[in-house]
Structure 1
Amino acid sequence: MIKNRREYLFFYDVTDANPNGDPMDENRPRIDEEVGICFVTDTRLKRVIRDELADMGEEIFIREERKEDGKLKTKEELLDLYNNGDYNEIIRRCIDIRLFGGTFAVGDNAKSFTGPVQFKFGRSLHKVSVKLVKGTTVMPSKEGKGQGTMTDFYIIPYGLFCFYGIANEKAAKDTELKDDDLKKMTEAMWKGIKESTDVISRSKFGHMPRLLIEIIYKENTKTHMGELNRLVSIKKPETLDELAIRDIEEIELDFSKLKKVVEEYKDKIEKIYYAVDKRLKFAEGSEVENIFEGIPLEKFPWLAE
């Protein structure tokens, strides 16, 4: 089980795509209308992680599995695959339950595991606009009577998103979360956004991971910085309106606020792992090496694999 608390900052951007459609609102991107900020649910990020972990050969419990008749298996039927609902067996075999927990309410045999890893909603670091794209299909429908049908879908032209997460060593005791599980999770976050078949679709194509930071605290540290997403911002030319941002190279990440807080906590931090995209730009003094100066810093080992 893990013994060190972790914090995560994960940045990715979206170009001409729908980062997380709302099925209750015509699948439009989710917008905080009062401030014009786009957001992505933690569930969406966890789905990307789960799908990529499955591609990596890991066993996932929250998955789509169909029966011979084509219908999806129920949770009860999935539980039967694990010694008739043996929760210890589920934890042993399923990395997503060890990471994110789960609730199993089947008959009288109910159980709930709090996930050691939790993410806040990802939010764009600038205002975004929503565009409706219209088109036609070549193949007619029955109702079309020989003509192609109209299609439409929603996108945002561009958005840079920031997710904040934490891995709690206390909750890890219940799900037996291991250090190796977290290593696989960070790899799945980065590679899943970039290459997952779940992301590479018409609405999701155009996602790119830009920066991932894992902050590992020293053993027995009972505190952490918290709300790291509120300590980051972007810098842009004064002549560039937020709604007109279209590429990662038009803006810079500003970590000046984060740097001040890191200084207060650096004696509690054991190590930093990170991955950074070569097109990402930092404001002066905000480079990763500068923000975590004096703290052991290393790129994620899986980057070289």
Structure 2
Amino acid sequence: MIKNRQEILFLYDVTDANPNGDPLDENKPRIDEETGINIVTDVRLKRTIRDYLYDYKGFDGSNGKDIFVREIESEKGGIKDGKARAKDFNENVDEILQKAIDIRLFGGVIPLDKASITFTGPVQFNMGRSLNKVNLKHIKGTGAFASGEGKAQKTFREEYIVPYSIIAFHGIINENAAKRTGLTDEDVDLLDDAMWNGTKNLITRSKMGHMPRLMLRVVYKPGENFFIGDLQNRISLNFDVEEEKIRSIKDFSIKLDELIDELANYGDKIEKVVFVADKNLRLSYKGREINLKDIKDIRFEEKTF
């Protein structure tokens, strides 16, 4: 099992797409109307991670690896509920924890016949919020089919997208909760992979246009029981254009001054900082562009997939 408290900062951007629609509001992207900030739920990010592990890493129920929370057709029709999924594992909770990486990561409620067992997930994310103000764009178009049998006029469709949004997620990996679910270092490596490459592989029509840009995972020394917190609020954008006119990562740089200073302040508690950075993303510190590997006061360790 993991022995280190860890903290995650994950940034990705979205171009001409809908990062997370609200089903109660015409599936519009979620916007904080007071600030113009784009919001993405932690559930959306967890779905990305689950889908990637299922589609690309073999967690499909074979070879002892599975995703517990996924859609499976029921023999009775419709989709299996939680109780039916638990029966797939003969209601053996130890077997569920051994096979289902999403329960080891995110926890969950396991509904059994006689009682339900709740596991608090070692990995928890805040709501993702964009670092830039976002304007909604309403698009109308025609559908592929006629509006009715024998009619020539096609149906109309309409949708809402954001022209550009760069979204920051903050997460914690709690080594204490990991004792109950059995989260391992290998699971955390798979989490890194799934966040980065899962986001890149969101290639459905509504999600095409997602790109991972920066991931930091702060690994604290064993026994510290400490984390800095609010990493997403310790970075900001330096705009090259008006904020509302941002359309790509070429229009800004990420200012890391407060983040790097905080990491340096607590350097005695930090074992290392694992990172992945898009080569096109500009990072700045003290007014100059930097590569994280050039920061001497912190052990930055670059990861590749």
What TM-score, normalized to structure 2?
0.93
Q: Distance in 2 between matches of 1:286 and 1:103?
A: 46
| Contact 1:101 1:113 (C-alpha < 8 Å) held by counterparts | yes
> Could you tell me which residue of structure 1 aligns to residue 11 of structure 2?
11
Whole-angstrom CA distance in 1 between matches of 2:294 and 2:265: 12
AA aligned to 1:8 is I
For residues 14-44 of structure 1, the C-alpha deviation after alignment (integer angstroms, 9 at most, x for no partner) is: 0000000000000000000001100100000
CA distance in 2, matches of 1:157, 1:69: 43
User: What letter corresponds to residue 130 of structure 1 in structure 2?
Assistant: L
CA distance in structure 2 between the aligned counterparts of 1:15 and 1:257, rounded to whole angstroms:
27
Alignment correspondent of 1:164: 170
CA contact (8 A) 2:235 2:259 kept: yes
Q: How does 1:123-162 map to 2 (within 5 A)?
A: 123-142=129-148, 145-162=151-168
Aligned to 2:260: 259
Distance 1:182 1:144, change over 3 A: farther
Contact 1:259 1:291 in 2 (8 A): no
SS at match of 2:266: helix
Does 2:106 match 1:100?
A: yes
Determine if contact 1:262/1:291 at 8 Å carries over to the other structure: no
Q: Which residue number corresponds to residue 24 of structure 2?
A: 24
Q: Which piece of structure 1 moves more, 1-10 or 69-78?
A: 69-78
Q: 1:4 to 1:292 in 2, by over 3 A?
A: farther
Q: Partner of 1:221 in structure 2?
A: 224
Name which of 210, 214, 217 aligns with 1:207.
210
Contact 2:263-2:298 at 8 Å conserved across structures = no
Structure-1 residue corresponding to 2:181: 175
C-alpha distance after superposition, 1:92-144 (max 9, x if no partner): 10000000000124443211000000001110001000011000013214278
| Matched length | 296
Cα distance in 2 between the residues matched to 1:174 and 1:53: 22
Superposed displacement of residue 235, structure 1: 0.4
Q: Look up the match of 1:115.
A: 121
Deviations 1:176-218 (A, max 9, x none): 10010000011010000001xxx21221100000011111111
> Per-residue CA shift, 1:128-166, capped at 9, x if unaligned?
000110000132142782321010010000001110101
Task: Find out whether 1:298 has 2:264 as its counterpart.
Answer: no
Aligned with residue 71 of structure 2, among 49, 64, 74: 64
Hey, what's the Cα distance between the residues in 2 that align with 1:131 and 1:184?
A: 35
Identical positions, percent: 46
CA distance in 2, matches of 1:229, 1:72: 37
Match of 1:232 in 2: 235
- Counterparts of 1:287 and 1:134 in 2: how far apart (Å)? 43
Bigger mean CA offset, 100-109 vs 291-300 = 291-300
- Do the aligned residues in 2 keep the contact of 1:16 with 1:206 (CA within 8 Å)? yes
Alpha-carbon contact 2:239-2:253 (below 8 Å) kept = yes
* Structure 1 residues 222 and 291: alpha-carbon distance in aligned structure 2, compared to 1, 3 A threshold: farther
Structure 1: stretches of 5+ with no match in the other structure? none
Q: Equivalent residue of 2:175, what SS?
A: coil
- Match among 179, 191, 197 for residue 185 of structure 1: 191
Rate the CA distance shift 1:89–1:168 in 2: closer, same or farther, 3 A: same
Aligned equivalents of 2:253, 2:111: Cα separation in 1: 47
Is the Cα contact below 8 Å between 1:262 and 1:292 reproduced in 2? no
Amino acid across the alignment from 2:6: R
Q: 1:251/1:181 Cα in 2 relative to 1: closer, same or farther (>3 Å)?
A: same
User: Is contact 1:15-1:158 (8 Å) kept?
Assistant: yes
Q: Match for residue 92 of structure 2?
A: 86
- 2:292: which partner in 1? 289
Residue 75 in structure 1 maps to residue 76 in structure 2 = no
Equivalent residue, structure 1, for 2:62: none
What is the aligned partner in structure 1 of residue 278 from structure 2? 277
Against the structure 1 CA distance between its residues 151 and 80, is the aligned structure 2 distance closer, same or farther, given a 3 Å change threshold? same
Contact 2:293–2:302, Cα closer than 8 Å, also in 1 = no
Whole-angstrom CA distance in 2 between matches of 1:79 and 1:149: 43
* RMSD of aligned alpha carbons: 1.6
Pair 1:127–1:48, CA change in 2 (3 A): same
